[in-house]
Amino acid sequence: MTKIAQMGHDGFARAIRPVHLPFDGDTIFSLSTGTFEGANLAQVGSLAAEVTALAIVRAILSAESLPNLPAHRDFAKKVKSKP
């Protein structure tokens, strides 16, 4: 599970730039129920990285702004409205 979490961490690098800066708190946890014995570590780790990247992108695109804290969609509206 440690190795899968390490591999899943690559999803941060796929979706966030810059990534792995000091004090940014990028942490991934993994756990297992231990009920599936046919898992291939390389495949599961690759999928962990992919779903991590997709989850980050999905979160950014669906986030809503707070007072004095704009979300991505606020910046996207400004770009689209320019002539």
* DSSP string covering the chain: -HHHHHHHTHHHHHH-SS-S-TT----------S------HHHHHHHHHHHHHHHHHHHHHH---BTTB--HHHHHHHHHH--
> Where do we find the tokens 């007072």?
67
Range of the domain at 15: 2-81
The encoded tokens of residue 3 equal 């190795």
pLDDT single digits (tens) 49-82: 999 999 999 999 999 999 999 999 888 776 666 5
Average pLDDT, the chain: 89
Asked whether the beta carbons of 47 and 8 are under 8 A apart, the reply is no
> What total number of domains does the chain contain?
1
pLDDT single digits (tens) 5-22: 999 999 999 999 999 888
